[in-house]
């Protein structure tokens, strides 16, 4: 293959990663600090790009040059920032999450598949107190921030951005056609965290414990309602009749990860959660196809309980609500 053919292939691949509403030429020109005419000539292969320009483009768009040149190195390029105590800005973390959801929503064709080993983080933002509890747990227990070492949950102020950005996050998530795969254990992490903080005396008030459980129950009840209609919608709102907006599968065995597949026009991305707070993502085509195949295989071994299978849907959500209820009863007894 000629070098200008490789160059055109390189730019074609990068363009395929962008939503259709974004100007590829403008982005390349801005990134390389060149005119639009110079960007056009590089995209068409009329002017050779330098190694420095290739590096800028690969770093910005998270592209593996091995993949473009068909080098069989078995390498996959992931992008992500590891969260550590001292560098974690939760407001920025949420804003980045919101920006990704907005980018997906700006596409004409969009979809998400969420393998939910834990309840999808978006749902916590139906209630600012429940979202605040997650934030507090991350800061105190996961990241071990010194200022949180002796802090009780009731001492933690409810940050205004949690409600503002959180409400935008759940609003945008509800607009994305999605498939979720759940197990009974999907709510266990949140339950265990409430139990642990109660036993450790980090949650002081009985009414605080009751509130967190009640909000978790309401979230689960709302997700059940979404499954009945086959549509995501905001709590307190009514479904609008969007077709194929929401599919929910119940897997009776085991899910390995909190893995997410995203599509926005020609952009295809895999997002993998690790280390509780960290997310790494890749647009590697082979890895995307492999992950999609694995998730489709998981769905074949799961029960579709949205829109259909009322009996199985009720059974699944009764198990979840009973699990929350039993924990709520036992935990509240510790505060009597």
The answer to whether position 290 is within a domain reads yes
What is the pLDDT of the chain when averaged over all its residues? 85
> Across-strand partners of 273?
279
Domain-located, residue 196: yes
Each residue of 20-49: pLDDT tens digit?
667 888 888 888 888 888 888 888 888 888
In a domain, 268, yes or no: yes
Q: At 335, list the tokens.
A: 């505060």
pTM (predicted TM-score): 0.78
Residues pairing with 106 in the sheet? none
Which pLDDT band holds residue 71 (cuts at 50, 70, 90)? very low
Alpha helices in the chain (DSSP H): 3-16, 24-32, 36-43, 51-61, 65-68, 90-105, 128-137, 160-174, 188-199, 206-229, 285-300, 310-333
Give kind and range of the element (H or E) at residue 279: strand 278-282
DSSP for 134-193, written as a single string: HHHHIIIIIS--GGGTT--GGGS---HHHHHHHHHHHHHHHTS-EEEEE-GGGGHHHHHH
Task: Kindly state whether residues 145 and 284 are assigned to the same domain.
Answer: yes
Query: Using CA atoms, how far apart are residues 119 and 258, in angstroms rounded to an integer?
Result: 9
Residue 23 lies in a domain: yes
> Is 60 in the same domain as 111?
no
Same-domain pairing of 95 and 241: yes
pLDDT at 225 over 60: yes
Please say which residue of 12, 35, 68 terminates a domain.
68
Q: Which residues contact 240 (CB under 8 A, 6 or more apart)?
A: 231, 233
70: left (phi over 0), alpha (psi -120 to 50) or beta: left
Please indicate, yes or no, if residue 285 is contained in any of the structural domains.
yes
On whether residue 97 sits in a domain, the answer given is yes
| Per-residue model confidence as pLDDT tens digits over 74-96 | 666 666 666 676 777 778 888 88
Q: Concatenated DSSP letters for 84-100? A: -TTT--HHHHHHHHHHH
- Residues listed for the chain: 336
Domain holding 45, by residue range, is: 3-68
Are residues 57 and 103 both part of a single domain?
no
């Amino acid at each position: 293959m000629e070098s200008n053919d490789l160059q055109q292939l390189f730019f074609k691949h990068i363009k395929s990663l962008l939503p259709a509403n974004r100007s590829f030429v403008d982005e390349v020109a801005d990134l390389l600090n060149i005119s639009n005419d110079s960007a056009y000539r590089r995209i068409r292969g009329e002017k050779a790009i330098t190694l420095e320009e290739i590096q800028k483009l690969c770093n910005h768009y998270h592209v593996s040059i091995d993949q473009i040149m068909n080098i069989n190195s078995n390498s996959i390029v992931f992008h992500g920032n590891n969260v550590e105590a001292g560098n974690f800005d939760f407001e920025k973390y949420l804003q980045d999450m919101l920006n990704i959801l907005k980018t997906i929503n700006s596409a004409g064709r969009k979809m998400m598949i969420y393998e939910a080993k834990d309840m999808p983080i978006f749902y916590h933002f139906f209630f600012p107190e429940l979202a605040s509890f997650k934030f507090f747990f991350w800061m105190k227990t996961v990241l071990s921030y010194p200022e949180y070492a002796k802090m009780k949950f009731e001492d933690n102020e409810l940050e205004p951005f949690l409600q503002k950005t959180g409400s935008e996050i759940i609003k945008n998530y509800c607009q994305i056609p999605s498939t979720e795969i759940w197990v009974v254990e999907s709510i266990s992490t949140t339950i265990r965290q409430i139990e642990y903080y109660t036993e450790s005396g980090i949650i002081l008030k009985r009414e605080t414990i009751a509130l967190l459980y009640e909000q978790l129950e309401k979230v689960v009840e709302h997700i059940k309602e979404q499954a009945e209609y086959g549509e995501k919608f905001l709590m307190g709102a009514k479904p609008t009749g969007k077709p194929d907006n929401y599919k929910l599968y119940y897997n009776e065995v085991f899910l390995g990860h909190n893995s997410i597949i995203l599509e926005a026009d020609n952009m295809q991305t895999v997002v993998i959660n690790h280390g509780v707070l960290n997310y790494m993502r890749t647009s590697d085509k082979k890895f995307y196809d492999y992950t999609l195949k694995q998730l489709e295989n998981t769905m074949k071994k799961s029960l579709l309980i949205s829109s259909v299978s009322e009996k199985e849907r009720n059974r699944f959500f009764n198990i979840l609500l009973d699990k929350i209820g039993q924990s709520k009863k036992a935990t509240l007894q510790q505060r009597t």
